[in-house]
Amino acid sequence: MPKTGIDINSIRVDIKINQDTDVVDLEVAHNLSNTMEEAQVMFYLDALNGLTYKIKCELENCAFQGALLREIATLRESLDELVGEEELDEDEIDFEPDQTLVDLIRERRSKSKSNVVDFKKKLH
């Protein structure tokens, strides 16, 4: 439900924790522009519903994933100290597609029976 005091095109999720009972309470609010396309509004409201579900029903899973990410960051820091950050960056592979590949993809996209798949930023 839209609330005043929220910037335009913003969504707010407040998580309140009762440390004695370990109960988590959520408050969500949004202020989406009236000029925003209906499909775009529905996408963000669906995303908000999904986030609300994840927080309410899968908070332990989110915490587990967060712990894994924290462990990865710790391991990366240890590796940087052990090997040196500059040396790790040298091992990265930069990919530059051959111009022939780029031309072939463009050609196949223009054909009606293309088997080239475009990956868009948002799939919904």
pLDDT digits (tens, 9 = 90+) for 13-45: 999 999 999 999 999 999 999 999 999 999 999
| Mean pLDDT confidence for 40-58 | 95
pLDDT at 2 over 60: no
Predicted confidence (pLDDT) at residue 1 exceeds the cutoff of 50: no
Task: Tell me how far apart the alpha carbons of residues 68 and 50 are, in angstroms, rounded to a whole number.
Answer: 22
Average pLDDT value over all residues in the chain: 84
Domain ranges of the chain: 1-57, 59-92
DSSP 12: E
Residue 61 in this model has a pLDDT that exceeds 80: yes
Average confidence (pLDDT) over 69-96: 79
What secondary structure does DSSP assign to 26-42, as a single string? Answer: EEEEEE--TTS-HHHHH
